[in-house]
């Protein structure tokens, strides 16, 4: 679909397993999310999430991040592919790359990310391990708009998860993931509703979801 823009066309960026991609696919397939996944792009050819998308007949692209002259060049290539498919909202779903200004400027306030902590606590890599090692009793999942600040954009939705005394990184990650899968489709729906505004750093939505 060449250059045609539709406010409900999603582009999903992944690097690995793609369970959040699956949650979005499921919500879209079962009418819980009125949106269409136009393309799934991975920076890694071995991302198993690509198979999930292919099995469902969704267009996939591998765009390796290596070998570009700069981050901007790579991000511009991503933006081109997304625009080419008429994507209106970009969802990072375990996309383990920093997103730079070239992509952010191509999709202003139209890139979402899911992160496995209650931001602004524990940004960056290994958020679940960070939470465990810091000894917090509550952590969780966050969906936020992507800005130039790492994991620092306006928060759309969060969900708390208790840290148990006998938690390991794996057990905690598994419980956080359940919340991720629940809130990501809700956050996408909230952003697509367009009945929201930014008040400074605050994402102020309507009553739903
Ligand atoms: C998820 O836990 C996601 O929150 C995290 O990577 C995992 C991807 O899983 N993302 C980050 O840590 C980004 N900083 P998935 O591939 O099964 O969706």
The predicted-structure confidence for 138-153, as pLDDT tens digits, reads as follows 999 999 999 999 999 9
Residue nearest to atom 16 of ligand 1 (CA): 18
| CB 145, CB 109: distance < 8 Å | yes
Find, among 163, 143, 170, 138, the residue nearest to 23 by Cα.
143
The number of C-alpha atoms within 13 Å of 86 and in the hemisphere containing its C-beta is: 14
- Calculate how far, in angstroms, residue 23's C-alpha sits from the geometric centre of ligand 1: 12
Residue 154 has pLDDT above 60, yes or no: yes
Residue nearest to atom 8 of ligand 1 (CA): 94
Residue 50 has pLDDT above 60, yes or no: yes
Looking at ligand 1, which atom is closest to the CA of residue 123?
A: 14
The catalytic position among 65, 84, 115, 144 is 115
**What is the number of domains present in the chain?**
2
Tell me the pLDDT of the chain averaged across its residues.
Answer: 95
Q: Which of 122-131, 183-192, 199-208 has the lowest mean pLDDT?
A: 199-208
Residue 137 has pLDDT above 80, yes or no: yes
Residues 9 and 103 in one domain: yes
Give the model's pLDDT for residue 2: 42
Q: What is the mean pLDDT of residues 25-40?
A: 96
Residues 130 and 53 in one domain: no
**Residue 149 located in a structural domain:** no
Give the model's pLDDT for residue 3: 43
Residue 206 has pLDDT above 80, yes or no: no
Burial grade of 29 (CB within 10 A; 0-12, 13-18, 19 or more): exposed
| pLDDT range class, residue 64, cuts 50, 70, 90 | very high
Residues 104 and 118 in one domain: no
**Residue 148 located in a structural domain:** no
Residue 78 has pLDDT above 80, yes or no: yes
DSSP states of 95-128 = --S---HHHHHHSTT-EEEEESS-TTSS-SS-HH
Residue 205 has pLDDT above 80, yes or no: yes
Give the model's pLDDT for residue 97: 93
**Residue 150 located in a structural domain:** no
Give the model's pLDDT for residue 194: 81
Residues 175 and 102 in one domain: no
Looking at ligand 1, which atom is closest to the CA of residue 47?
A: 16
**Residue 170 located in a structural domain:** yes
Residues 66 and 15 in one domain: yes
Residues 77 and 123 in one domain: no
Residue length of the chain: 209
Does residue 115 have an active-site annotation?
yes
Domain range for 183: 114-142+156-187+196-209
Task: Tell me which residues have their CB closer than 6 angstroms to ligand 1.
Answer: 14, 16-20, 49, 93-94, 114-116, 127, 177, 180
Residues 69 and 88 in one domain: yes
Residues 76 and 40 in one domain: yes
The model's pTM: 0.95
Question: Residue 163's domain is classified under what CATH number?
Answer: 3.40.50.170
Looking at ligand 1, which atom is closest to the CA of residue 21?
A: 18
Q: What is the mean pLDDT of residues 144-164?
A: 97
């Amino acid at each position: 679909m060449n250059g045609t823009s539709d406010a409900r066309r999603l582009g999903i960026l992944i690097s690995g397993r793609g369970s959040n991609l699956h949650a979005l696919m499921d919500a879209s397939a079962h009418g819980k999310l009125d949106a269409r996944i136009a393309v799934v792009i991975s920076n890694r050819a071995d991302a198993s999430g690509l198979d999930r998308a292919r099995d469902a007949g969704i267009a996939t692209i591998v765009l390796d991040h290596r070998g570009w002259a700069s981050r901007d060049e790579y991000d511009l290539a991503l933006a081109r592919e997304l625009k080419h498919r008429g994507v209106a909202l970009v969802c990072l779903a375990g996309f383990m790359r920093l997103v730079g200004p070239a992509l952010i400027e191509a999709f202003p306030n139209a890139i979402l990310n899911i992160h496995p902590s209650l931001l602004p606590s524990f940004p960056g890599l290994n958020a679940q391990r960070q939470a465990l090692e810091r000894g917090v009793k509550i952590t969780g999942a966050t969906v936020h708009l992507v800005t130039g600040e790492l994991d620092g954009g306006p928060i759309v939705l969060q969900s708390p998860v208790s840290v148990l005394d006998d938690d390991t990184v794996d057990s905690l990650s598994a419980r956080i993931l359940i919340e991720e899968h629940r809130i990501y489709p809700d956050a996408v729906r909230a952003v697509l509703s367009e009945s929201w505004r930014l008040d400074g750093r605050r994402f102020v939505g309507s009553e739903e979801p």
